[in-house]
Amino acid sequence: MAIVTEAPAYPVHYFQERKEYRRHAVERAFGNGAIHYISQFADMADPGTEVMATSEPFNVEAINGRSLRSFVNLKRVNDIDKPIEFFSLVNQKLPKGGYYIGCVETIASRRQRILHRYHPLLSYPFYFLDFIVKRVFPKWKPTRRIYSILTRGINKAMSATETLGRLAACGFEVIERREIGYMTYFVCRKKRAPMYNGDASYGFFVGFKRIGKNGRLFKVYKFRTMHPYAEYLQDYIHKINNLDENGKFNHDFRITSWGRVMRKLWLDEQAMWINFLRGDMKLVGVRPLSEHYFNLYPEEFRQRRIKYKPGLVPPFYVDLPKTLDEIVASERRYLDAYDKHPWLTDVRYLFGAMYNIIVKRARSA
């Protein structure tokens, strides 16, 4: 005979005491600003809210027997050895629409903390050493394993892009983020199962999936100007920033400081000659687009656009459009002319683009 065990009936004051205990514990450890922010998204008294400060996947795996609605982890992502695996496990424990709230010390905040903590004569050398050991070593293949063994993968220097990009790759929709002190808190909502495909890399030479002729996906090669995992944040960046005059995203925090310099000097684009030599692209043509950016275009123009091979030099640098509508109109004019006189059109657009680049100083954003 099966034995039926009834769930214990908790008195009303139990949940209030639970809430106050959690509130005081978090406030003592992280301050009033953190608890106020977290409380906007997760009810501390709710049995469906789990609050931890852990970097161990085992503690997440141990959550069972009840339905979670929110998971709050107050351990820095910097101290989680394998964030992708950890985030994927959290994803499994939450229902669709469930919240994941966490925190990370970004590279910018880490730099600010170190420079404020020490005397100027010591702070910059210390920051340089910290950057090499905590940023470069965990990512450089010859030292990655050694760093993991010696430190168990904790206290890594991480960018906001890497953190939020990993979350997006693991099926979370980034709702918002906020800096409180030297910590950045993020709020995510489960949108789907993890979709990480292992493509993210840390090398200086990277390839991004773009839509080519006949809708075929191919890798466009560039020299890195963005933090790793940036490609997973297209939706989030578009939602918070929209597009600038160059048809790219406003105030894109995914771009590194040296990446902005490389873009101004066109250095990042030079790797695309590989695509030209492989036959994926021609010299002049419409810009190869990511799937997200491609879907911003009108449906009828999308179908027309994929009939042509993309180019290294897009018509953008001839017309210098400022909005997405103007970019579409510019590409439409180019394709209309190309249909009538392919060779002459490409020559005319090539010289027009070179004039604007050299004389008017038009640059890649």
pLDDT at 1 over 50: no
pLDDT in tens, 112-129: 999 998 888 899 999 999
pLDDT of residue 12: 46
Report the candidate in 156, 149, 109 with the shortest Cα–Cα distance to residue 130: 156
| Mean pLDDT within 71-95 | 93
Per mean pLDDT, which of 223-232, 290-299, 300-309 is the most reliable?
300-309
Tokens standing for 4?
């039926």
105 against 32, higher pLDDT? 105
173 against 268, higher pLDDT? 173
- Please say whether the beta carbons of 37 and 178 come within 8 A: yes
| Mean pLDDT within 309-322 | 92
- Please say whether the beta carbons of 114 and 157 come within 8 A: no
Phi (first) and psi of residue 100, to 5 degrees: -125, 120
pLDDT band at 54 (very low <50, low <70, confident <90, very high): very high
Weakest-pLDDT range from 146-150, 199-203, 284-288: 199-203
* CA–CA dist 89, 55 (Å, integer): 12
Choices 3.90.550.10, 3.90.1720.10, 3.40.50.150, 3.40.50.1100: CATH for 12-106+158-190: 3.40.50.150
pLDDT of residue 189: 95
Question: 354, exposed or middle or buried, with CB in 10 Å at 0-12, 13-18, 19+?
Answer: middle
* CA–CA dist 63, 85 (Å, integer): 16
Tokens standing for 324?
């997405």
Q: Percentage of the chain with pLDDT > 70?
A: 85
| Mean pLDDT within 139-157 | 87
pLDDT band at 25 (very low <50, low <70, confident <90, very high): low
Neighbouring CB atoms inside 10 A of 129's CB total: 11
pLDDT at 319 over 80: yes
Cα 266–267–273 angle (5° rounding)? 95
Residue whose pair of structure tokens reads 């590409």 in the numeric block: 331
pLDDT at 344 over 80: yes
Amino acid residing at 20: E
pLDDT of residue 305: 95
- DSSP class of residue 337 equals H
pLDDT of residue 6: 45
The pLDDT mean for the chain works out to 85
pLDDT band at 99 (very low <50, low <70, confident <90, very high): very high
- CATH 3.40.50.150 domain position(s) in the chain: 12-106+158-190
pLDDT band at 17 (very low <50, low <70, confident <90, very high): low
pLDDT at 15 over 70: no
pLDDT band at 10 (very low <50, low <70, confident <90, very high): very low
Weakest-pLDDT range from 135-144, 257-266, 281-290: 257-266
pLDDT band at 29 (very low <50, low <70, confident <90, very high): low
